[in-house]
Structure 1
Amino acid sequence: MSDIRLDGARTLVTGATRGLGADIARAFAAAGARLVLSGRSADDLEAQATSLREQFDVEIACCPADLAADDGPERLVADAVAAFDGLDVLVNNAGVSHPASVLDLDAPGFDATVAVNLRAPALLAAAVGRDMVQRGIRGSIVTVASAAALTPLAEHYAYSATKAGLVMATKVLALELGPHGIRANSVCPTVVLTDMGRRVWGDEAKAAPLMGRIPLQRFAEPHEVSDAIVWLASDAASMISGVDLPIDGGYTSA
Protein backbone atom coordinates (compact mmCIF):
# COMPACT_ATOMS: atom_id res chain seq x y z
CA MET A 1 0.00 0.00 0.00
CA SER A 2 3.03 2.30 -0.36
CA ASP A 3 1.25 4.24 -3.11
CA ILE A 4 -1.46 5.45 -0.70
CA ARG A 5 -0.36 8.36 1.46
CA LEU A 6 -2.02 9.90 4.50
CA ASP A 7 0.72 12.39 5.27
CA GLY A 8 -0.14 14.37 8.37
CA ALA A 9 -3.62 12.85 8.78
CA ARG A 10 -4.47 12.95 12.49
CA THR A 11 -5.54 9.38 13.21
CA LEU A 12 -6.80 7.73 16.39
CA VAL A 13 -6.36 3.94 16.53
CA THR A 14 -7.92 2.11 19.46
CA GLY A 15 -6.63 -1.23 20.70
CA ALA A 16 -3.32 -0.24 19.12
CA THR A 17 -0.77 -2.18 21.16
CA ARG A 18 -1.27 -5.74 19.98
CA GLY A 19 -2.71 -7.96 17.31
CA LEU A 20 -4.61 -6.32 14.48
CA GLY A 21 -4.52 -2.91 16.16
CA ALA A 22 -0.74 -2.90 16.20
CA ASP A 23 -0.66 -3.77 12.51
CA ILE A 24 -3.21 -1.05 11.72
CA ALA A 25 -1.05 1.48 13.55
CA ARG A 26 1.98 0.31 11.58
CA ALA A 27 0.11 0.68 8.28
CA PHE A 28 -0.98 4.24 9.07
CA ALA A 29 2.50 5.18 10.24
CA ALA A 30 3.91 3.78 6.99
CA ALA A 31 1.44 5.99 5.12
CA GLY A 32 2.70 9.08 6.98
CA ALA A 33 -0.21 9.68 9.35
CA ARG A 34 0.14 11.42 12.69
CA LEU A 35 -1.04 8.87 15.21
CA VAL A 36 -2.89 8.87 18.49
CA LEU A 37 -2.50 5.38 19.89
CA SER A 38 -4.90 4.12 22.53
CA GLY A 39 -4.95 1.02 24.69
CA ARG A 40 -5.14 0.03 28.33
CA SER A 41 -1.40 -0.12 29.11
CA ALA A 42 0.61 3.11 29.07
CA ASP A 43 3.87 1.14 28.95
CA ASP A 44 2.77 -0.92 25.96
CA LEU A 45 1.62 2.22 24.15
CA GLU A 46 4.96 3.96 24.69
CA ALA A 47 6.84 0.89 23.46
CA GLN A 48 4.70 0.77 20.33
CA ALA A 49 5.08 4.50 19.76
CA THR A 50 8.86 4.35 20.14
CA SER A 51 9.10 1.53 17.61
CA LEU A 52 6.92 3.31 15.04
CA ARG A 53 8.72 6.64 15.47
CA GLU A 54 12.07 4.96 14.87
CA GLN A 55 10.77 3.05 11.86
CA PHE A 56 8.67 5.71 10.12
CA ASP A 57 9.64 9.08 11.66
CA VAL A 58 6.05 10.13 12.37
CA GLU A 59 4.44 12.11 15.19
CA ILE A 60 2.74 9.90 17.77
CA ALA A 61 0.78 10.66 20.94
CA CYS A 62 -0.29 8.00 23.44
CA CYS A 63 -3.65 8.08 25.20
CA PRO A 64 -4.21 5.21 27.64
CA ALA A 65 -7.92 4.50 28.14
CA ASP A 66 -10.28 2.01 29.70
CA LEU A 67 -13.07 1.93 27.15
CA ALA A 68 -15.24 -0.22 29.42
CA ALA A 69 -15.43 2.61 31.96
CA ASP A 70 -18.55 4.77 31.87
CA ASP A 71 -16.59 7.88 30.88
CA GLY A 72 -13.85 6.03 28.99
CA PRO A 73 -14.91 6.90 25.44
CA GLU A 74 -15.62 10.55 26.26
CA ARG A 75 -12.27 11.02 28.00
CA LEU A 76 -10.36 9.32 25.19
CA VAL A 77 -11.90 11.56 22.53
CA ALA A 78 -11.06 14.67 24.56
CA ASP A 79 -7.43 13.54 24.97
CA ALA A 80 -7.08 12.45 21.34
CA VAL A 81 -8.51 15.67 19.94
CA ALA A 82 -6.22 17.71 22.18
CA ALA A 83 -3.12 15.83 21.00
CA PHE A 84 -3.13 17.32 17.48
CA ASP A 85 -5.97 19.87 17.71
CA GLY A 86 -8.52 17.62 16.00
CA LEU A 87 -8.83 14.28 14.26
CA ASP A 88 -9.11 13.43 10.57
CA VAL A 89 -9.51 9.66 10.99
CA LEU A 90 -10.88 7.34 13.66
CA VAL A 91 -10.09 3.62 13.46
CA ASN A 92 -12.43 1.89 15.91
CA ASN A 93 -10.54 -1.35 16.47
CA ALA A 94 -10.61 -2.21 20.18
CA GLY A 95 -12.74 -5.24 21.00
CA VAL A 96 -12.98 -8.40 23.05
CA SER A 97 -14.10 -11.95 22.40
CA HIS A 98 -15.21 -14.46 25.01
CA PRO A 99 -16.43 -17.45 23.01
CA ALA A 100 -19.23 -19.31 24.76
CA SER A 101 -22.30 -21.29 23.86
CA VAL A 102 -25.69 -19.62 24.14
CA LEU A 103 -26.44 -22.26 26.75
CA ASP A 104 -23.61 -20.94 28.91
CA LEU A 105 -24.33 -17.24 28.49
CA ASP A 106 -24.50 -15.11 31.62
CA ALA A 107 -25.35 -11.44 32.13
CA PRO A 108 -21.91 -10.26 33.31
CA GLY A 109 -20.17 -11.78 30.30
CA PHE A 110 -22.73 -10.40 27.87
CA ASP A 111 -22.61 -6.92 29.42
CA ALA A 112 -18.80 -6.87 29.38
CA THR A 113 -18.78 -7.69 25.67
CA VAL A 114 -21.39 -5.03 24.90
CA ALA A 115 -19.47 -2.39 26.86
CA VAL A 116 -16.25 -2.79 24.85
CA ASN A 117 -17.51 -4.02 21.48
CA LEU A 118 -20.59 -1.86 20.95
CA ARG A 119 -21.08 0.88 23.53
CA ALA A 120 -17.49 2.19 23.45
CA PRO A 121 -16.97 2.31 19.67
CA ALA A 122 -20.45 3.73 19.08
CA LEU A 123 -19.86 6.52 21.58
CA LEU A 124 -16.35 7.14 20.26
CA ALA A 125 -17.59 7.47 16.69
CA ALA A 126 -20.41 9.80 17.71
CA ALA A 127 -18.06 12.03 19.73
CA VAL A 128 -15.38 12.11 17.03
CA GLY A 129 -18.03 12.81 14.39
CA ARG A 130 -19.42 15.65 16.48
CA ASP A 131 -15.96 17.19 16.84
CA MET A 132 -15.30 16.84 13.10
CA VAL A 133 -18.56 18.64 12.34
CA GLN A 134 -17.75 21.45 14.77
CA ARG A 135 -14.30 21.92 13.25
CA GLY A 136 -15.43 21.54 9.63
CA ILE A 137 -13.24 18.47 9.10
CA ARG A 138 -14.19 16.17 6.23
CA GLY A 139 -13.00 13.07 8.00
CA SER A 140 -13.26 9.30 7.88
CA ILE A 141 -14.40 6.76 10.49
CA VAL A 142 -13.51 3.10 9.96
CA THR A 143 -14.83 0.50 12.39
CA VAL A 144 -13.54 -3.06 12.69
CA ALA A 145 -16.59 -5.30 12.85
CA SER A 146 -16.42 -8.98 11.84
CA ALA A 147 -17.66 -11.54 9.37
CA ALA A 148 -19.53 -12.83 12.43
CA ALA A 149 -21.68 -9.69 12.11
CA LEU A 150 -22.91 -10.85 8.71
CA THR A 151 -23.34 -14.58 9.17
CA PRO A 152 -23.88 -16.58 12.38
CA LEU A 153 -20.93 -18.15 14.16
CA ALA A 154 -21.46 -20.75 16.85
CA GLU A 155 -20.25 -19.93 20.37
CA HIS A 156 -20.04 -16.21 19.50
CA TYR A 157 -23.50 -15.03 20.57
CA ALA A 158 -22.53 -11.80 22.33
CA TYR A 159 -19.64 -11.13 19.97
CA SER A 160 -21.77 -11.54 16.85
CA ALA A 161 -24.58 -9.42 18.27
CA THR A 162 -22.25 -6.55 19.15
CA LYS A 163 -20.40 -6.63 15.84
CA ALA A 164 -23.71 -6.68 13.94
CA GLY A 165 -24.73 -3.65 15.96
CA LEU A 166 -21.57 -1.87 14.87
CA VAL A 167 -22.33 -2.52 11.22
CA MET A 168 -25.71 -0.80 11.50
CA ALA A 169 -24.35 1.96 13.73
CA THR A 170 -21.79 2.68 11.01
CA LYS A 171 -24.54 2.99 8.40
CA VAL A 172 -26.36 5.53 10.59
CA LEU A 173 -23.11 7.47 11.00
CA ALA A 174 -22.73 7.54 7.22
CA LEU A 175 -26.30 8.76 6.82
CA GLU A 176 -26.12 11.53 9.41
CA LEU A 177 -22.50 12.65 8.96
CA GLY A 178 -22.40 12.39 5.17
CA PRO A 179 -23.91 15.86 4.61
CA HIS A 180 -20.92 17.22 6.55
CA GLY A 181 -18.45 15.45 4.26
CA ILE A 182 -17.61 12.75 6.80
CA ARG A 183 -17.46 9.14 5.65
CA ALA A 184 -18.10 6.06 7.82
CA ASN A 185 -17.42 2.45 6.86
CA SER A 186 -16.85 -0.88 8.57
CA VAL A 187 -14.68 -3.84 7.70
CA CYS A 188 -15.78 -7.40 8.44
CA PRO A 189 -12.81 -9.77 8.56
CA THR A 190 -12.86 -13.50 9.01
CA VAL A 191 -10.27 -14.99 11.39
CA VAL A 192 -7.13 -12.83 11.25
CA LEU A 193 -3.81 -14.57 11.83
CA THR A 194 -2.40 -12.31 14.49
CA ASP A 195 -0.40 -13.99 17.26
CA MET A 196 -3.65 -14.56 19.15
CA GLY A 197 -5.43 -15.73 16.00
CA ARG A 198 -2.73 -18.30 15.40
CA ARG A 199 -2.95 -19.53 18.99
CA VAL A 200 -6.74 -19.86 18.91
CA TRP A 201 -7.08 -21.22 15.37
CA GLY A 202 -3.69 -22.86 14.89
CA ASP A 203 -5.09 -26.30 15.57
CA GLU A 204 -5.96 -27.75 12.17
CA ALA A 205 -8.80 -29.87 13.51
CA LYS A 206 -10.44 -26.83 15.11
CA ALA A 207 -9.84 -24.57 12.10
CA ALA A 208 -10.93 -27.01 9.40
CA PRO A 209 -14.74 -26.60 9.68
CA LEU A 210 -14.56 -22.81 9.49
CA MET A 211 -11.83 -22.72 6.85
CA GLY A 212 -13.83 -25.19 4.80
CA ARG A 213 -16.56 -22.54 4.49
CA ILE A 214 -14.11 -19.98 3.07
CA PRO A 215 -13.81 -20.27 -0.74
CA LEU A 216 -10.18 -19.08 -0.68
CA GLN A 217 -9.45 -21.84 1.85
CA ARG A 218 -7.43 -19.68 4.23
CA PHE A 219 -7.71 -17.06 6.97
CA ALA A 220 -6.70 -13.40 6.63
CA GLU A 221 -3.24 -12.00 7.26
CA PRO A 222 -3.20 -8.79 9.37
CA HIS A 223 -1.91 -6.59 6.53
CA GLU A 224 -4.85 -7.59 4.34
CA VAL A 225 -7.18 -5.94 6.85
CA SER A 226 -4.91 -3.00 7.67
CA ASP A 227 -4.35 -2.15 4.01
CA ALA A 228 -8.10 -2.08 3.40
CA ILE A 229 -8.59 0.27 6.35
CA VAL A 230 -5.87 2.63 5.10
CA TRP A 231 -7.57 2.66 1.71
CA LEU A 232 -10.99 3.40 3.22
CA ALA A 233 -9.49 6.28 5.21
CA SER A 234 -7.81 7.77 2.15
CA ASP A 235 -9.02 9.96 -0.70
CA ALA A 236 -8.83 6.88 -2.93
CA ALA A 237 -12.14 5.87 -1.31
CA SER A 238 -13.62 9.37 -1.29
CA MET A 239 -17.03 8.23 -2.60
CA ILE A 240 -17.27 5.15 -0.34
CA SER A 241 -19.46 5.52 2.74
CA GLY A 242 -21.92 3.34 4.62
CA VAL A 243 -20.25 0.15 3.40
CA ASP A 244 -19.59 -3.01 5.41
CA LEU A 245 -16.63 -4.54 3.60
CA PRO A 246 -16.12 -8.28 4.08
CA ILE A 247 -12.45 -9.28 4.20
CA ASP A 248 -13.20 -12.95 4.38
CA GLY A 249 -12.13 -14.81 1.26
CA GLY A 250 -15.76 -15.14 0.17
CA TYR A 251 -17.00 -16.61 3.47
CA THR A 252 -20.09 -14.43 3.79
CA SER A 253 -21.03 -14.75 0.12
CA ALA A 254 -20.58 -18.52 -0.22
Structure 2
Amino acid sequence: MDFKGRTAIVTGAGKGIGRHVATLLGERGARVVALGRTRNDLDALAVETGCRAIAVDLADAAAARRAAAEALPADLLVNCAGINILEPFLEMKDESFDTVQAINVRAAAIVSQVFARDLIRRDAPGAIVNVSSISSFLGFRDHAAYCASKGALDGLTRVMANELGPHRIRVNAVNPGVTMTELARVAWSAPEKGGPMLARTPVGRFAETRDVAEAILFLLSDAAAMVHGHALPVEGGFLAN
Protein backbone atom coordinates (compact mmCIF):
# COMPACT_ATOMS: atom_id res chain seq x y z
CA MET A 1 0.00 0.00 0.00
CA ASP A 2 1.91 2.95 -1.38
CA PHE A 3 0.37 6.39 -0.91
CA LYS A 4 3.11 8.49 -2.46
CA GLY A 5 1.76 11.63 -4.11
CA ARG A 6 -1.48 11.54 -2.13
CA THR A 7 -2.70 13.77 0.67
CA ALA A 8 -4.78 12.30 3.49
CA ILE A 9 -6.89 14.10 6.08
CA VAL A 10 -7.23 12.24 9.38
CA THR A 11 -9.59 13.50 12.08
CA GLY A 12 -9.08 12.45 15.68
CA ALA A 13 -5.39 12.10 14.84
CA GLY A 14 -4.01 13.11 18.21
CA LYS A 15 -4.59 9.81 19.98
CA GLY A 16 -5.42 6.13 19.55
CA ILE A 17 -6.47 4.72 16.21
CA GLY A 18 -6.34 8.08 14.45
CA ARG A 19 -2.76 8.66 15.53
CA HIS A 20 -1.71 5.23 14.27
CA VAL A 21 -3.48 5.83 10.95
CA ALA A 22 -1.72 9.18 10.52
CA THR A 23 1.64 7.61 11.34
CA LEU A 24 1.24 4.66 8.95
CA LEU A 25 0.04 6.88 6.12
CA GLY A 26 3.08 9.08 6.57
CA GLU A 27 5.40 6.07 6.62
CA ARG A 28 3.86 4.87 3.36
CA GLY A 29 4.37 8.10 1.50
CA ALA A 30 1.25 10.18 2.07
CA ARG A 31 1.20 13.82 3.03
CA VAL A 32 -0.95 13.88 6.16
CA VAL A 33 -3.13 16.67 7.49
CA ALA A 34 -4.00 15.81 11.10
CA LEU A 35 -7.12 17.27 12.71
CA GLY A 36 -7.67 17.00 16.44
CA ARG A 37 -8.83 18.84 19.52
CA THR A 38 -5.68 18.87 21.63
CA ARG A 39 -2.86 21.05 20.32
CA ASN A 40 -0.14 19.32 22.38
CA ASP A 41 -1.01 15.92 20.89
CA LEU A 42 -0.99 17.32 17.38
CA ASP A 43 2.30 19.15 17.90
CA ALA A 44 3.92 15.93 19.13
CA LEU A 45 2.55 14.05 16.11
CA ALA A 46 3.85 16.74 13.76
CA VAL A 47 7.33 16.45 15.27
CA GLU A 48 7.26 12.65 14.98
CA THR A 49 5.83 12.37 11.47
CA GLY A 50 6.17 15.74 9.73
CA CYS A 51 2.42 15.99 9.25
CA ARG A 52 0.51 19.24 9.03
CA ALA A 53 -1.66 19.82 12.11
CA ILE A 54 -4.94 21.71 12.52
CA ALA A 55 -6.45 22.04 16.00
CA VAL A 56 -10.25 22.12 15.96
CA ASP A 57 -13.23 21.30 18.16
CA LEU A 58 -15.28 19.17 15.78
CA ALA A 59 -18.34 19.53 18.00
CA ASP A 60 -18.54 23.07 16.60
CA ALA A 61 -20.11 22.67 13.15
CA ALA A 62 -18.78 25.95 11.74
CA ALA A 63 -15.27 25.24 13.06
CA ALA A 64 -15.36 21.73 11.58
CA ARG A 65 -16.30 23.16 8.19
CA ARG A 66 -13.51 25.76 8.33
CA ALA A 67 -10.90 23.19 9.37
CA ALA A 68 -11.94 20.80 6.59
CA ALA A 69 -11.61 23.58 4.03
CA GLU A 70 -8.21 24.54 5.43
CA ALA A 71 -7.00 20.95 5.02
CA LEU A 72 -7.73 20.86 1.29
CA PRO A 73 -6.86 19.75 -1.30
CA ALA A 74 -6.70 16.09 -0.36
CA ASP A 75 -7.26 12.68 -1.92
CA LEU A 76 -8.11 10.55 1.10
CA LEU A 77 -10.13 11.09 4.29
CA VAL A 78 -10.36 9.13 7.53
CA ASN A 79 -13.09 10.25 9.92
CA CYS A 80 -11.72 8.87 13.16
CA ALA A 81 -12.74 11.52 15.71
CA GLY A 82 -15.12 10.12 18.29
CA ILE A 83 -16.14 10.30 21.92
CA ASN A 84 -18.24 8.28 24.34
CA ILE A 85 -20.20 9.41 27.36
CA LEU A 86 -21.21 6.41 29.46
CA GLU A 87 -24.69 6.78 30.93
CA PRO A 88 -27.53 4.31 31.52
CA PHE A 89 -30.34 4.98 29.06
CA LEU A 90 -32.77 6.05 31.78
CA GLU A 91 -30.25 8.60 33.07
CA MET A 92 -28.93 9.82 29.73
CA LYS A 93 -28.70 13.61 29.55
CA ASP A 94 -29.84 15.57 26.50
CA GLU A 95 -26.51 17.37 26.27
CA SER A 96 -24.60 14.08 26.41
CA PHE A 97 -26.59 12.66 23.51
CA ASP A 98 -26.20 15.83 21.46
CA THR A 99 -22.44 16.08 22.04
CA VAL A 100 -21.80 12.46 21.05
CA GLN A 101 -23.86 12.81 17.87
CA ALA A 102 -22.17 16.11 16.99
CA ILE A 103 -18.67 14.64 17.08
CA ASN A 104 -19.30 11.04 16.02
CA VAL A 105 -21.77 11.69 13.19
CA ARG A 106 -22.25 15.33 12.28
CA ALA A 107 -18.55 16.15 12.13
CA ALA A 108 -17.94 13.17 9.84
CA ALA A 109 -20.74 14.37 7.58
CA ILE A 110 -19.44 17.95 7.48
CA VAL A 111 -15.81 17.08 6.82
CA SER A 112 -16.80 14.51 4.20
CA GLN A 113 -19.08 16.98 2.46
CA VAL A 114 -16.35 19.64 2.22
CA PHE A 115 -13.82 17.02 1.08
CA ALA A 116 -16.12 15.43 -1.53
CA ARG A 117 -17.26 18.73 -2.99
CA ASP A 118 -13.64 19.67 -3.63
CA LEU A 119 -12.88 16.32 -5.27
CA ILE A 120 -15.89 16.68 -7.55
CA ARG A 121 -14.91 20.25 -8.42
CA ARG A 122 -11.44 19.01 -9.39
CA ASP A 123 -12.84 15.91 -11.14
CA ALA A 124 -10.52 13.80 -8.98
CA PRO A 125 -11.06 10.33 -7.46
CA GLY A 126 -10.84 9.73 -3.73
CA ALA A 127 -11.63 7.46 -0.81
CA ILE A 128 -13.25 7.97 2.59
CA VAL A 129 -13.18 5.66 5.60
CA ASN A 130 -15.48 6.32 8.55
CA VAL A 131 -14.35 4.76 11.82
CA SER A 132 -17.46 3.23 13.33
CA SER A 133 -17.73 0.43 15.93
CA ILE A 134 -19.29 -2.95 16.59
CA SER A 135 -21.52 -0.82 18.81
CA SER A 136 -23.50 -0.08 15.65
CA PHE A 137 -24.56 -3.75 15.62
CA LEU A 138 -24.95 -4.41 19.36
CA GLY A 139 -26.69 -2.68 22.25
CA PHE A 140 -24.05 -2.38 24.97
CA ARG A 141 -25.33 -1.28 28.35
CA ASP A 142 -24.66 2.37 29.24
CA HIS A 143 -23.77 3.11 25.59
CA ALA A 144 -27.08 4.49 24.30
CA ALA A 145 -25.67 7.72 22.83
CA TYR A 146 -22.60 5.96 21.46
CA CYS A 147 -24.46 3.02 19.89
CA ALA A 148 -26.95 5.43 18.32
CA SER A 149 -24.12 7.50 16.87
CA LYS A 150 -22.31 4.53 15.35
CA GLY A 151 -25.51 3.13 13.86
CA ALA A 152 -26.07 6.55 12.31
CA LEU A 153 -22.50 6.64 11.02
CA ASP A 154 -22.98 3.30 9.25
CA GLY A 155 -26.18 4.61 7.69
CA LEU A 156 -24.39 7.77 6.61
CA THR A 157 -21.62 5.64 5.07
CA ARG A 158 -24.13 3.78 2.90
CA VAL A 159 -25.78 6.97 1.67
CA MET A 160 -22.40 8.56 0.93
CA ALA A 161 -21.35 5.45 -0.97
CA ASN A 162 -24.52 5.52 -3.03
CA GLU A 163 -24.25 9.21 -3.92
CA LEU A 164 -20.48 9.63 -4.20
CA GLY A 165 -19.64 6.41 -6.04
CA PRO A 166 -20.59 7.85 -9.44
CA HIS A 167 -18.05 10.61 -8.78
CA ARG A 168 -15.26 8.01 -8.26
CA ILE A 169 -15.23 8.53 -4.50
CA ARG A 170 -15.27 5.25 -2.57
CA VAL A 171 -16.74 5.23 0.95
CA ASN A 172 -16.50 2.49 3.58
CA ALA A 173 -16.59 2.09 7.35
CA VAL A 174 -14.49 0.03 9.73
CA ASN A 175 -16.15 -1.27 12.87
CA PRO A 176 -13.58 -2.12 15.55
CA GLY A 177 -14.31 -4.11 18.65
CA VAL A 178 -12.40 -3.44 21.85
CA THR A 179 -9.18 -1.76 20.72
CA MET A 180 -6.25 -1.28 23.05
CA THR A 181 -5.68 2.43 23.04
CA GLU A 182 -3.91 3.79 26.13
CA LEU A 183 -7.19 4.41 27.93
CA ALA A 184 -8.77 1.16 26.81
CA ARG A 185 -5.74 -0.84 27.94
CA VAL A 186 -6.33 0.36 31.49
CA ALA A 187 -10.12 -0.07 31.34
CA TRP A 188 -10.20 -3.54 29.80
CA SER A 189 -7.23 -5.08 31.59
CA ALA A 190 -9.35 -5.82 34.65
CA PRO A 191 -10.37 -9.51 34.38
CA GLU A 192 -13.89 -8.85 35.65
CA LYS A 193 -14.50 -6.40 32.79
CA GLY A 194 -12.31 -7.67 29.98
CA GLY A 195 -12.74 -11.38 30.70
CA PRO A 196 -16.28 -11.86 29.36
CA MET A 197 -15.51 -9.86 26.20
CA LEU A 198 -12.26 -11.73 25.64
CA ALA A 199 -14.02 -15.07 26.13
CA ARG A 200 -16.31 -14.19 23.21
CA THR A 201 -13.38 -13.28 20.94
CA PRO A 202 -12.22 -16.36 18.99
CA VAL A 203 -8.74 -15.05 18.21
CA GLY A 204 -8.11 -14.76 21.95
CA ARG A 205 -7.04 -11.12 22.15
CA PHE A 206 -8.34 -7.60 21.70
CA ALA A 207 -7.37 -5.49 18.70
CA GLU A 208 -4.34 -3.24 18.79
CA THR A 209 -4.54 0.17 17.15
CA ARG A 210 -2.31 -1.12 14.34
CA ASP A 211 -4.81 -3.87 13.50
CA VAL A 212 -7.50 -1.28 12.87
CA ALA A 213 -5.14 1.15 11.14
CA GLU A 214 -4.02 -1.51 8.65
CA ALA A 215 -7.64 -2.29 7.76
CA ILE A 216 -8.28 1.42 7.21
CA LEU A 217 -5.25 1.77 4.95
CA PHE A 218 -6.40 -1.23 2.91
CA LEU A 219 -9.79 0.42 2.35
CA LEU A 220 -8.08 3.65 1.31
CA SER A 221 -5.76 1.87 -1.11
CA ASP A 222 -6.17 0.91 -4.75
CA ALA A 223 -6.17 -2.72 -3.60
CA ALA A 224 -9.74 -2.09 -2.39
CA ALA A 225 -10.88 -0.53 -5.67
CA MET A 226 -14.11 -2.56 -5.72
CA VAL A 227 -14.84 -2.40 -1.98
CA HIS A 228 -17.51 0.26 -1.56
CA GLY A 229 -20.34 0.92 0.87
CA HIS A 230 -19.34 -1.69 3.42
CA ALA A 231 -18.99 -1.78 7.19
CA LEU A 232 -15.96 -3.95 7.97
CA PRO A 233 -15.81 -5.42 11.48
CA VAL A 234 -12.29 -5.60 12.94
CA GLU A 235 -13.02 -7.54 16.12
CA GLY A 236 -11.31 -10.92 16.02
CA GLY A 237 -14.54 -12.82 15.38
CA PHE A 238 -16.51 -11.38 18.32
CA LEU A 239 -19.62 -11.02 16.15
CA ALA A 240 -19.42 -14.67 15.08
CA ASN A 241 -20.64 -15.73 18.53
Structure 2 distance, partners of 1:33, 1:223, is 17
Aligned to 2:44: 47
* Structure 1 residue corresponding to 2:210, chosen from 207, 213, 223: 223
1:253 aligns with 2:240: yes
Structure 2 distance, partners of 1:246, 1:63, is 29
1:143 aligns with 2:122: no
Aligned partner of residue 62 in structure 1, secondary structure: strand
Aligned partner of residue 174 in structure 2, secondary structure: strand
Q: CA RMSD in A?
A: 1.1
Aligned to 2:169: 182
* Structure 1 residue corresponding to 2:59, chosen from 68, 80, 88: 68
Structure 2 distance, partners of 1:213, 1:156, is 19
Structure 1 distance, partners of 2:202, 2:124, is 40
Contact 1:39–1:45 under 8 Å retained in 2: yes
**Letter matched to residue 16 of structure 1:** A
**Letter matched to residue 122 of structure 1:** A
Q: Which moved more, 1:207-216 or 1:151-160?
A: 207-216
Structure 1 distance, partners of 2:56, 2:103, is 12
TM-score by length of 2: 0.97
Aligned to 2:6: 9
Stretches of structure 2 that go unaligned for 5 or more consecutive residues are none
Q: How far is 1:201 from its partner?
A: 1.0
Q: Which moved more, 1:87-96 or 1:149-158?
A: 149-158
**Letter matched to residue 160 of structure 2:** L
Aligned to 1:191: 178
Structure 2 distance, partners of 1:30, 1:164, is 32
Calculate percent identity across the aligned residue pairs: 38
**Letter matched to residue 103 of structure 1:** L
Structure 2 distance, partners of 1:202, 1:121, is 30
Q: How far is 1:134 from its partner?
A: 1.0
Aligned to 2:28: 31
Structure 2 distance, partners of 1:70, 1:91, is 18
Contact 1:151–1:252 under 8 Å retained in 2: no
Aligned partner of residue 238 in structure 2, secondary structure: coil
1:101-250 residue pairs with structure 2 within 5 A? 101-250=88-237
Contact 1:11–1:87 under 8 Å retained in 2: yes
Contact 2:9–2:77 under 8 Å retained in 1: yes
Q: How far is 1:117 from its partner?
A: 0.8
Aligned to 1:57: none
Structure 1 distance, partners of 2:79, 2:193, is 29
Q: How far is 1:41 from its partner?
A: 2.4
**Letter matched to residue 35 of structure 2:** S
* Structure 1 residue corresponding to 2:75, chosen from 55, 78, 88: 88
Stretches of structure 1 that go unaligned for 5 or more consecutive residues are 54-59
TM-score by length of 1: 0.92
Q: How far is 1:18 from its partner?
A: 1.1
Structure 1 distance, partners of 2:240, 2:67, is 36
Q: Which moved more, 1:42-51 or 1:32-41?
A: 42-51
Aligned partner of residue 170 in structure 1, secondary structure: helix
Structure 1 distance, partners of 2:45, 2:5, is 19
